[in-house]
Structure 1
Amino acid sequence: MKTFSCQCGNTLHFINTQCVKCSSALGFVPDELQLKAITPEKNGLFTVANSKQRYRQCKNYWQHDVCNWLVNEEDLNDYCLSCRLNVEIPNLQKLGNIKLWYNMEVAKRRLLFTLLKLNLPITSRAEDPHTGLGFSFLEDQIQDEYGNELTIKDFVVTGHAAGLITLNLNEAQDSSRVEMREKMNEQYRTLIGHFRHESGHYYWDRLIQNSPKLEEFRALFGDERLCYTESLNSYYQNGPSDQWQNVWISAYASMHPWEDWAETWAHYLNMVDTLETANDFQMCIAQQNIKNPLQKCTIVDDAYTAISFTQLFDDWCKLTRTLNAINRSMGHDEAYPFVISISALNKLRFVHEIIKHAK
């Protein structure tokens, strides 16, 4: 994620609501993909720095302080582009849920920033009730049985169905998520990773299904008409395919072509977001030379897909080698615990081209 600049010159971060230098209130303008200082006017309206356009704060901004996005004054919706995608939110009367919901919203907005930067189509469920993009943040239903023993009555499964992305609220709690990662023997499990993965299912429906690219998809990922339920049961009963590292980007990707696509899609979004962050902080070491050791990545601010995939991946390999070395120096696990096979590389290249030509 890139940083932004306040009108006073201070550096702003994506989740900020106030500049710590000049104390200006802040708001994110989705149309411009910029975080800016805002000045209050009459009737709950604000002007943004260097613009005459007026905005309102998203209702979840002024009511719950879980959002910092703005709504154009001509837009009749109370909620911003991100929050209007919500179908269900957690029970806010329950202690701790607002904080967990906030974590969910930050990850969702980060996903949407990348999707908007990539010019990917986003259709809400208000626009298309049957297949539009929507989010439900739900928690396991607990009931008290046998005295004080608590049991789970209804377990929320994170997943996607016809545009609706459901996430278990436990994933927004670090301890619960780490516990699940260990239980599932996963290399990588993050909240933003869930959003990226599930968005991959949404975009498979939008960009691959019933498109001229379907046969190319099947040649790379396999035939998605394979029974998903049987594949799922086989994966959890028998584990991933033997030598999955030679074909798939993760063990879970070996379960079914749909999951292979979603894992590859999520991985690509991880790449472009991390490269943007490195580029913004001038930490990227791609194409480094003696004369200009802080030369930026070939990825540019406003065109993720303008460069070739080979350039993008070359930057990624050099950056992740550095990140892993730094983590090992600090005694932490590797930041990037993946080895990309030729098969997985070709799938990433396919995702790159799909996004590059998406409309």
Structure 2
Amino acid sequence: MLEIFEAITRRLVESWKSDEPSGRRNVFRCRCERPVYFYNSFCLGCKTPLGYEPEMLQVLAMSPAPKGDAWIVDGQKDDSVLWKRCENFHSPAGCNWLVRADEEETLCRSCRLNNTIPDLDVEENGLWWRKIENAKRRLVAQLLQLGLPVASKVSEDKEKGVMFDFLRSPEKGPRVMTGHASGLITLNIEEADDSIREKTRHQMREPYRTLLGHFRHEIGHYYWDRLVDETPWLEKFRELFGDERESYAGALKRNYEHGPPANWADKHISAYASVHPWEDWAETWAHYLHVVDSLDTALRFGLHGDEVEQAVEPFTVDDLYDPKDPDAKRVILLINSWVQLTTVINELARSMGQQDFYPFVMSRSVLRKMHFIQIVVKEARGGTSLLD
């Protein structure tokens, strides 16, 4: 499987400055040639059943197998491989992912990560859970594309796996706090209520707050434990992000009492990233995932760099964590293309009276941290690294 970073940068070279008409790259398509999308379980045009196949990482059309409650998906090399729908297909989660028919497991790669789901006897919880699962499936699909380890702490890897608790605060408290601890990610399901989440965003003075953003941030903490802590990367992390042995409770107290330092934007992607090295890593990790996924989507739909004006001075390889890294030129191409993309999409959002699509400014310090993360991710999937 071609790693998503390599695939994106290859397509940037091939199509970002291309004469090919836009809109006909690698979008998912039904067998009727209509475009279909990540969450679709059937084609809105021809009504063909669809499913997300986690090995090919695509939404594919399906046909019933000759025997049993199984499916054959289009495009696979081995027609003997049969699939079944995730058990949560008929639940409020509405999961469209597939599971191999010969597996005893009934839940897909994403749903099997759940440790606790909301109480579905409460009416709005089902709607909230569906929104949460939609965001989580997009996260998990991206992690699989990146080649990162994704195993269920519930049923597959008790020691190093990851799992999710989706909880609601009791009426009389205490409030459920979203966070990560030892492979368990807890999400307050009230974050799926747009009005509650937007109110919290204003109270916290945040420019951006989404379910997917929560997932990408918290999974960053998980991968810090997996990929950095107690590895040769730890000292290099401390040199770049700071010493995580600083009191976390003390750092939070200082932030809530005094706010972020005045110059936080010079070194951090967000004000919250300035609280503690752990939060700096998690926030930067989340933005790494934002950049990779959003630019990948733009390329799949055929957006061209020739259609976007460069509004700021582009970054150069000397701005990276390691200018001699073999991927240095591709990283710069990726980031400069992202800056171009967000410039025009922010203007589009403003023309609709909406807040900016990407309300952040990427400094050179942040770029170095993102490049560090890219190198760590590449090593995690067996690539070369600075430590070889």
Same topology, TM > 0.5: yes
Task: Work out whether 1:73 is the aligned partner of 2:101.
Answer: yes
Q: Which amino acid is the alignment partner of residue 117 of structure 1?
A: Q
Matches within 5 A, 1:172-187: 172-187=192-207
Following superposition, the deviation at residue 47 of structure 1 comes to 1.3
Larger RCO, structure (CA 8 Å, separation 6 or more)? 2
- Corresponding residue number in structure 2 for 1:48: 73
Partner Cα distance (1:282, 1:65) in 2: 31
Following superposition, the deviation at residue 328 of structure 1 comes to 2.1
- Corresponding residue number in structure 2 for 1:103: 131
Following superposition, the deviation at residue 270 of structure 1 comes to 0.4
- Corresponding residue number in structure 2 for 1:249: 269
- Corresponding residue number in structure 2 for 1:343: 365
Partner Cα distance (1:118, 1:307) in 2: 19
Which consecutive segments of 4 or more residues in structure 1 shift more than 4 A?
A: 286-289
Listed one character per residue, the Cα deviations across residues 162-204 of structure 1 (whole Å, up to 9, x for unaligned) are: 1111101011111111010001000111110000000100110
Equivalent residue in structure 1 for 2:173, among 153, 164, 181: 153
Task: Work out whether 1:273 is the aligned partner of 2:293.
Answer: yes
Following superposition, the deviation at residue 244 of structure 1 comes to 0.6
Task: Work out whether 1:27 is the aligned partner of 2:51.
Answer: yes
TM-score, normalising length from structure 1? 0.89
Partner Cα distance (1:284, 1:107) in 2: 27
Identity between Structure 1 and Structure 2 (%): 46
**Is contact 2:93–2:133 with CA below 8 Å preserved after alignment?**
no
- Corresponding residue number in structure 2 for 1:13: 37
Deviates more, 1:6-15 or 1:55-64: 55-64
**Is contact 2:49–2:63 with CA below 8 Å preserved after alignment?**
yes
Equivalent residue in structure 1 for 2:335, among 294, 313, 317: 313
- Corresponding residue number in structure 1 for 2:190: 170
Matches within 5 A, 1:109-128: 109-125=137-153, 126-128=155-157
Q: Secondary structure at the match of 2:123?
A: coil
Partner Cα distance (1:64, 1:338) in 2: 34
- Corresponding residue number in structure 1 for 2:344: 322
- Corresponding residue number in structure 2 for 1:145: none
- Corresponding residue number in structure 2 for 1:221: 241
Q: Which amino acid is the alignment partner of residue 29 of structure 1?
A: E
Partner Cα distance (2:178, 2:233) in 1: 28
**Is contact 1:132–1:162 with CA below 8 Å preserved after alignment?**
no
Gaps (5+ residues) in structure 2?
5-25, 310-326, 382-388
Deviates more, 1:127-136 or 1:247-256: 127-136
User: How many pairs are equivalent?
Assistant: 335
Partner Cα distance (1:250, 1:288) in 2: 26
Following superposition, the deviation at residue 128 of structure 1 comes to 2.5
Structure with more helix by fraction: 2
Q: Which amino acid is the alignment partner of residue 162 of structure 2?
A: L
Q: Secondary structure at the match of 1:135?
A: strand
Change (3 A) 1:29 1:338: same
Partner Cα distance (2:255, 2:90) in 1: 45
Structure with more strand by fraction: 1
Q: Secondary structure at the match of 1:165?
A: strand
Change (3 A) 1:65 1:177: closer
Equivalent residue in structure 2 for 1:138, among 161, 164, 167: 167
Partner Cα distance (1:50, 1:252) in 2: 44
**Is contact 1:286–1:314 with CA below 8 Å preserved after alignment?**
no
**Is contact 1:201–1:262 with CA below 8 Å preserved after alignment?**
yes
**Is contact 1:15–1:106 with CA below 8 Å preserved after alignment?**
yes
Equivalent residue in structure 2 for 1:200, among 208, 217, 220: 220
**Is contact 2:308–2:344 with CA below 8 Å preserved after alignment?**
no
**Is contact 2:308–2:340 with CA below 8 Å preserved after alignment?**
no
Q: Which amino acid is the alignment partner of residue 48 of structure 1?
A: V
Q: Secondary structure at the match of 2:63?
A: strand
Following superposition, the deviation at residue 247 of structure 1 comes to 1.1
Q: Which amino acid is the alignment partner of residue 360 of structure 2?
A: F
Change (3 A) 1:309 1:200: same
TM-score, normalising length from structure 2? 0.83
